[in-house]
Chains A and B, each alone.
Chain A
């Protein structure tokens, strides 16, 4: 039984083999007269060596040629895996240096920006009144995804760049232990990330469709370089872009990650190599975005972290950064006086209370 698996480009290959065979025949014909003149015996029939053609096919660069073998295993019938070298070159010469440059660059820009601009202050100080921004379920979800994401990013980056960064520092033996733990941890918590992304989608998608003022916000880069603060709704355009990046890249990371982790759906090397490429590129991009996100949520914007700790934001913060949302809340009468909220939280024993006095550190 002939059960050769032929390559995807078999037709193309057949075509090229025919062309090559014709070329060889033409060549042979052109030297045939000399051969006739020289030979005293009957000239041998000139036949193309089937072996030569076979090796041309095996060595060809478009797609691997598969044969048959008694040995089971992934791609065991493939003699030469031509894509391994492409993946190696991409990973070692492009992805790893680019990851270093991008992550280092973004970090550098943020530090520089902070040194020059000192972040966005509350222009009018605190009002002492509050608006509820994120319910408990949203905050729990946010920190769940954040924890898993940072863990996966750290363990993943250790696998990607540890050879360059960590081995010179800690040596091969220690790094082997770190890398092994990273791999196991990454594989264990990876699948949970998908649940988190789905949760984020369900809870926040309704607030992240393009809306009034988004274009203006983008044109003014969120008022980052001075000028009047652009108008924004519950989420501004920057936050919406971050949301969609998290959803799309997050789903890509999850899909490719699951393909890598569970190699028993008959994935061959090509699919795995492509998954590794997408997974690596997506991870590096999203981590770069995360740097920006963390900066804007902490040092980059005064009083914004509170929305994700206590869930409440100062009314002045809301008016400054999300004027459309603040107005809507005020119209609904959803503004809560500081004393009232503090009392409520004390009674409930809430850990992350709103600050009693303006600019006070919130409790742990």
Chain B
């Protein structure tokens, strides 16, 4: 059984927000909600890094543990989904989530919360696959069509990876091996494995030996 995971390669992410936009468009996410966001740490300083974050589909999901109405479920692919018909919009999942993934449309007066919305790994919800009900409530169900989440498919630098955890980590492991591990393993030449650049800077790693 696959275990779906996201992985964002911070050496590659250029904070273009294409993933955020792709997600919003593909899933017709409610107003004021972004299921994905790009966070930049040390913005403007040397060594700044950006990461695209959304729901990470935790194995032992804190959101599911605290939900007072127990509306989460994990699919056979390891995707954490929830049932909007049961959700009461209490916000507890957001307080428990390590990644700030659950989002809430503001519905009534006094800033009261509507039903929770979050990244579905483009896997819809409990309704029949690709039914109009499912699309209206949760957005698209690309997984049912054999496609991966659009955010990752759209990522121009291939920073955002999505798919089975084993496959994703193999890709990432390969990248890291190529980059080597010295203090100079950051920056364009390294992240995109330009051997010439790497050799010029005396960087180790498999990539340094190739042309």
- Choose the segment among A115-123, A246-254, A269-277 that binds chain B (4+ C-beta atoms closer than 8 Å): A269-277
Q: Which residues of chain A come closer than 8 Å to B34, judged between CB atoms?
A: 71, 73
A84 contact from B38, B45, B46, B97, Cβ within 8 A: B97
Cα-based distance from A252 to B170 in the complex (angstroms): 52
Looking at chain B, what size class is its interface with the partner chain? Answer: 35 or more
Cα-based distance from A46 to B185 in the complex (angstroms): 11
CB <8 Å contact, B183 and A67: no
For B32-54 the 0/1 string (1 means CB < 8 A from A) is 10100111111111110101010
Cα-based distance from A1 to B100 in the complex (angstroms): 25
Given A51-B10, A79-B39, check contact A180 B88 (CB 8 Å).
yes
CB <8 Å contact, A54 and B62: no
For the complex formed, measure the closest distance between the CB of A210 and the CB atoms of chain B, giving whole angstroms: 40
Q: Is B189 an interface residue (CB 8 A)?
A: no
A180's nearest neighbour on chain B, judged by CB, is B88
Q: Is A70 an interface residue (CB 8 A)?
A: yes
Q: Is B17 an interface residue (CB 8 A)?
A: yes
For chain A, residues 270 to 313, give those with C-beta under 8 angstroms from any C-beta of chain B.
272-273, 276
CB <8 Å contact, B98 and A84: yes
For A207-248 the 0/1 string (1 means CB < 8 A from B) is 000000000000000000000000000000000000000000
Q: Is A183 an interface residue (CB 8 A)?
A: yes
For the complex formed, measure the closest distance between the CB of A75 and the CB atoms of chain B, giving whole angstroms: 6
A172's nearest neighbour on chain B, judged by CB, is B86
A159's nearest neighbour on chain B, judged by CB, is B68
Q: Which residues of chain A come closer than 8 Å to B53, judged between CB atoms?
A: 79
For A64-88 the 0/1 string (1 means CB < 8 A from B) is 0101111111111111111011011
* Most chain A beta-carbon contacts within 10 A, residue among B43, B89, B100, B103: B100
For chain A, residues 1 to 23, give those with C-beta under 8 angstroms from any C-beta of chain B.
1-4
Q: Which residues of chain A come closer than 8 Å to B69, judged between CB atoms?
A: 162-163, 167, 172, 175-176, 179
Q: Which residues of chain B come closer than 8 Å to A261, judged between CB atoms?
A: 110
CB <8 Å contact, B86 and A67: no
Would you call the interface of chain B mostly helix, strand, loop, or mixed?
Answer: loop
Given A81-B97, A82-B98, A276-B95, check contact A179 B88 (CB 8 Å).
yes
Cα-based distance from A276 to B93 in the complex (angstroms): 13
* Most chain B beta-carbon contacts within 10 A, residue among A51, A68, A187: A68
- Choose the segment among A37-45, A140-148, A355-363 that binds chain B (4+ C-beta atoms closer than 8 Å): A37-45
Q: Which residues of chain B come closer than 8 Å to A58, judged between CB atoms?
A: 41
Q: Is A101 an interface residue (CB 8 A)?
A: no
Cα-based distance from A48 to B97 in the complex (angstroms): 32
Cα-based distance from A47 to B184 in the complex (angstroms): 7
CB <8 Å contact, A262 and B111: yes
CB <8 Å contact, A54 and B37: no
Cα-based distance from A46 to B94 in the complex (angstroms): 42
Cα-based distance from A85 to B38 in the complex (angstroms): 22
CB <8 Å contact, B43 and A67: yes
Given A81-B100, A88-B66, check contact A2 B45 (CB 8 Å).
yes
Cα-based distance from A41 to B209 in the complex (angstroms): 14
Q: Which residues of chain A come closer than 8 Å to B59, judged between CB atoms?
A: none
Given A54-B41, A67-B42, A73-B103, check contact A176 B95 (CB 8 Å).
no
Q: Is A91 an interface residue (CB 8 A)?
A: yes
CB <8 Å contact, A76 and B100: yes
CB <8 Å contact, A69 and B38: yes
A172 contact from B11, B70, B181, Cβ within 8 A: B70
Interface residues of B (CB under 8 A from A): 10-11, 17, 20, 32, 34, 37-47, 49, 51, 53, 62, 65-71, 83, 85-92, 94-100, 103, 110-112, 181-186, 201-204
- What are 25 contact pairs spanning A and B, CB under 8 A? A44-B184, A45-B183, A45-B202, A49-B183, A49-B185, A51-B47, A54-B42, A55-B10, A67-B42, A68-B40, A69-B38, A70-B20, A70-B38, A71-B37, A79-B39, A79-B41, A87-B96, A163-B68, A163-B70, A175-B69, A176-B71, A176-B86, A179-B69, A264-B110, A273-B95
Given contacts A48-B183, A176-B88, 9 further A-B contacts (CB under 8 A): A45-B184, A49-B182, A54-B49, A75-B100, A79-B53, A88-B66, A172-B86, A173-B85, A176-B69
